[in-house]
Chains A and B, each alone.
Chain A
Amino acid sequence: MNELAKKTLQGDTRSIARLITLAENNDKKAAETLKYLHPKTGKAHVIGVTGVMGSGKSTLICELTNIFRKQGKKVGIIAVDPTSPFSGGALLGDRVRMMQLANDEDVYIRSMGTRGMLGGLTSAVYDVVEILDASGKDIILVETVGVGQAEVDIIKIADTTLVVIVPGLGDSIQTLKAGVMEIADIYVVNKADREGVNQTVAELESLVEITCANKDKKTPIIESIAKEKKGIKEIVTEINNHKKYLIETKKYDKKRRLRYETELIEIIRKKLMNFIYDEGKLKKTVDKQLDKISRKETDPYTAAEEILNKILK
């Protein structure tokens, strides 16, 4: 086992941080190290937190962490913010909203940019979950950007997904994409002291009636005022209930399997892209095909087949 893996398993902060950077940069060393870590994963409960900007996700995560810490659990937080498609840079602004946790030794916060993934979660996030899990975290909270595909992708990585809504933001639940609303394992109506909270809860309840009609568990709806620490205990209770439910119905393993599947496909995709582009083996072929496509001498499907044939031979 390499040094980095050893130290990560021991929970050494610097090593964890280093390894995460290597994973984000697609460094070969990361893949090598992660091989040693995977057998030691599985203990951490991964909680996804998604919702529109301004719904108070960071504050909520802060307060949830406070309770987990009181329960003696070690916590890792991954905060994802959008990378600018123009400059390639990012302002990672979630950490600053979790200042309260700055002095706690057993809370690890990492800010990540989406780095060009068109709205989805980078494969690096999967790696980071593995790393934090292997290093001994009991709870891993993943906060996502809150717009687009990332919102939905969170279910592939999380064991429990929280969808955070605020009363009065926009018109009603109907305006939010159907897909987003259905992924929730727990609905949190934050800033519940705002006008319109009763209407929001009522709309959620009717949504739950419909989507959970044929399910064995009704999605709970919790009202909270994260800034005032209200409703947080109830959310933690529901998270624990959900975990119990997953274990009892054997759905836990199914969820994990889905995560690994997504990760596997993503790694294969990356390797394929590397092979074609970065290692230059097929770059000339691809360029030639692209020229032909532009001149309408061939089409993307035919070109793809030809390229794949070259690889698989």
Chain B
Amino acid sequence: MENKIRVLIAKPGLDGHDRGAKVVARALRDAGMEVIYTGLHQTAEMIVKAAIQEDVDVVGLSLLSGAHMTLFVDVAEMLKNKGINDVLVIGGGIIPEEDIPKLNNKGIKGVFGPGTPCDDIVEFIKKNVKR
């Protein structure tokens, strides 16, 4: 049996819109991955702790409230500070085009906005997973 890709889907901050996160979680499951959903109202500490304990290959952050430049970056930086370099960090939600390159620079490698087919996310993960 081949190794499974393990993905953590997290909702940082106060945003309660979880429709997208749940749909993506199911799509990844259907693509053969093991998906752990953190639930709502996660701090960066909680997300990073879960990512370490579950030894995930991917951390997927979902945010629709506009606070992504702070909250996504918090997670990416905390992972870096803990010496974790082999986790793929991706994000989605309501993120203006102009913020995407900024997020890329801070370590969020893929940003998937409204209208992204789930297959695109699956392909991106398969191509970019580090282990």
Q: B-contacting residues of A (Cβ < 8 Å)?
A: 13-14, 17-18, 20-21, 24-26, 83-84, 87-93, 95-96, 99, 102-103, 108-111, 113, 115-116
Bound CA span A84–B35, Å: 12
Interface centre among B28, B50, B53 (most CB of A within 10 A): B53
**Known pairs A87-B30, A89-B28; A109 contacts B37 (CB<8 A):** no
Residues of chain A within 8 A (CB-CB) of B35 are 89-92
Q: Is the interface of A mostly helix, strand, loop or mixed?
A: mixed
Bound CA span A300–B125, Å: 42
**Additional pairs, 16, CB under 8 Å, beyond known A84-B29, A115-B1:** A17-B53, A17-B54, A25-B3, A87-B29, A87-B31, A87-B32, A89-B4, A89-B29, A89-B32, A90-B29, A91-B35, A93-B37, A103-B46, A109-B53, A111-B36, A115-B4
Give the contacts of B25-75 with A (CB-CB under 8 A). 25-26, 28-39, 42, 45-46, 49-50, 52-55
User: Could you tell me if B55 and A95 are in contact, using CB atoms closer than 8 angstroms?
Assistant: no
User: Could you tell me if A17 and B34 are in contact, using CB atoms closer than 8 angstroms?
Assistant: no
**Known pairs A17-B52, A20-B55; A92 contacts B46 (CB<8 A):** no
- Band of interface residues on B: 20 to 34
User: Could you tell me if B55 and A21 are in contact, using CB atoms closer than 8 angstroms?
Assistant: yes
Bound CA span A93–B21, Å: 13
User: Could you tell me if B53 and A102 are in contact, using CB atoms closer than 8 angstroms?
Assistant: no
Q: A-contacting residues of B (Cβ < 8 Å)?
A: 1, 3-4, 6, 25-26, 28-39, 42, 45-46, 49-50, 52-55, 84
**Known pairs A89-B35, A96-B37; A111 contacts B54 (CB<8 A):** yes
The closest CB in chain A to the CB of B28 belongs to A89
User: Could you tell me if A17 and B39 are in contact, using CB atoms closer than 8 angstroms?
Assistant: no
Interface centre among A24, A90, A93, A108 (most CB of B within 10 A): A90
Bound CA span A78–B54, Å: 11
User: Could you tell me if B36 and A92 are in contact, using CB atoms closer than 8 angstroms?
Assistant: yes
Bound CA span A132–B31, Å: 30
Residues of chain A within 8 A (CB-CB) of B38 are 95-96
